[in-house]
Structure 1
Amino acid sequence: MNHTTEAEQLSLEGTAAAEPESKEPPHMIARVNAMAIKIAFPFIARQDIRYYLNGVNIRPLDDDTAMIVATDGHRYVVVHDQHGYAEREIIVSVSKDGLKSANAKSTFDVMSNGAACINDEHGMPQFLQPGNSLVEGEFPRIENVASAIGYVEGISGAINPAYLKDALAIGQQFGSIRFFTKDQDSALVFVVGGLGDLEVFGGIMKVRDTFEQLPTWFPKPVPFELAETHSAPRATKRKTRSSKQ
């Protein structure tokens, strides 16, 4: 069985940061393309003791756009929504049931009281998440564990096939995907073609495996002349059998 070493896993730490309850009427604190949430969902941690990884991180950028990040410590995905809005950085849990209503024209809206919903292009609610969707904590800085320095296009190293499948599924949504690699230990990075106002890249940590080269037991190629020699008797035999008839 393949095991990911500690050095190959992302270094992710967070701390709880409770905020006092506000008596002000709830207002929208984030609105992003619902497709960005759908893309990020497979990369969310499941029942991880690092509770802040069990949701997506929605973060405002300096150019008034938004970035959506999800990671389970073994891989990550980052979605840049050029028309996304975030009043402040938040972590939001996501219901799988709501993904059925998510598409490139719908939005994922989060309110200050923790209410979250998916609205269609006309602003009509398509799915209302139950309960408070906000997760307290500090999400790890993805820029501290993800890098593009020293990478060249291509794939190398051992990769978890299930993680690769999820990356390819994103590429299928967008129509194209490209992979970049650095060495046997660094994450395999992928970038997908643009889908409207969304830009996506991610990374998959490598795993240790018992094989590092092509199999040595596989037969070596046979020279053409020897192959001809082996096939000649068979041809003669068939010819003799035919002449007897």
Structure 2
Amino acid sequence: MAYLARVNPKYFAAIYQCAAQNDVRYYLNAVHIEAHASGGVVIVATNGHFMGAIHDPDGWIAPGVSSILVGAVSKRLLSACIARRGPDLEPPAVLWIAEKYSLLSSMVDTSEEPELFGQHAHLTERTELVDGQFPNWRRVIPAKRQPFEGQFPCINGEYLGVFNKIGVMLSGQKRFGGGGMHLEASAENAQIVVRFNAFDLIDRFVGVLMPMRGDSVKTILPGWAMTEAQTVETKAA
């Protein structure tokens, strides 16, 4: 069976964290892989409330195939994708994707397709391609920076936790506390762009987080945290 795509396994496992789980919109339960005009592929997933996308410059998609949707995958495959070493004591290098299965290999040379159970094969797992239309993910990304006056939107802390997990997976660190996350809203109550402040990720990964509805916060601090002078100043304003 011919392979349809190959990607960085760490990238795939990380972006999979943004996919929906058991959503009736079945195409949101999948990871979208599409060809990029400048080379390589873009790997994208979203649950409709937040999204993660990464450019894999070394990724590949078969000629004549513009994109594929990879359905739900096992925890075993995801774990193997981010493992430091596989059965051959080498780190996973490439995730090959066919119509009915995916193969994780440590063989860096991609000029030849790997053998299903060759010495470099870490795991061969059954996967399924989803027949559906993935949303136009570029529509939800702000086209340009638009400074605004107002309050930063409310955000879902659980999704921030997912982005932190993605940072850990992509960086290979046990904690992603070094560079941190850069959050930017293009306008009040608009989408929030998430980027990782790390030299090898800042221009490779982008996330989008939809804001939550929340009550307006009238002061930067609650009253009990203010000094007497701040309280007087706030009342005067």
2:152 aligns to what?
156
State percent identity of aligned pairs: 24
Q: Which runs of 4+ in 1 moved over 6 A?
A: none
Query: C-alpha separation between the residues in 1 aligned to 2:11 and 2:161?
Result: 18
2:163 aligns to what?
167
Query: C-alpha separation between the residues in 2 aligned to 1:105 and 1:213?
Result: 51
| 1:110-147 residue CA offsets vs partner (Å, 9 max, x unmatched) | 11x321122224552222222x4111101111112212
Distance 1:194 1:28, change over 3 A: farther
The total of aligned residue pairs comes to: 195
1:57 pairs with 2:57: no
- Give the TM-score normalised by the residue count of structure 1: 0.71
State how 1:1-245 maps to structure 2 within 5 Å: 26-87=1-62, 88=65, 89-93=67-71, 94-103=73-82, 105-111=92-98, 113-121=99-107, 124-130=120-126, 132-151=127-146, 156-172=152-168, 173-174=170-171, 176=179, 177-192=181-196, 193-195=198-200, 199-214=204-219, 217-218=223-224, 220-222=226-228
- Give the TM-score normalised by the residue count of structure 2: 0.73
Distance 1:106 1:210, change over 3 A: same
Distance 1:219 1:159, change over 3 A: closer
Work out whether residues 92 and 104 of structure 2, in 8 Å CA contact, stay in contact via their aligned partners in 1: no
Query: C-alpha separation between the residues in 2 aligned to 1:147 and 1:182?
Result: 6
Which sections of structure 2, spanning at least 5 residues, go unmatched?
83-90, 109-113, 115-119, 172-177, 230-237
Larger radius of gyration between Structure 1 and Structure 2: 1
2:17 alignment partner, SS class: helix
2:163 alignment partner, SS class: helix
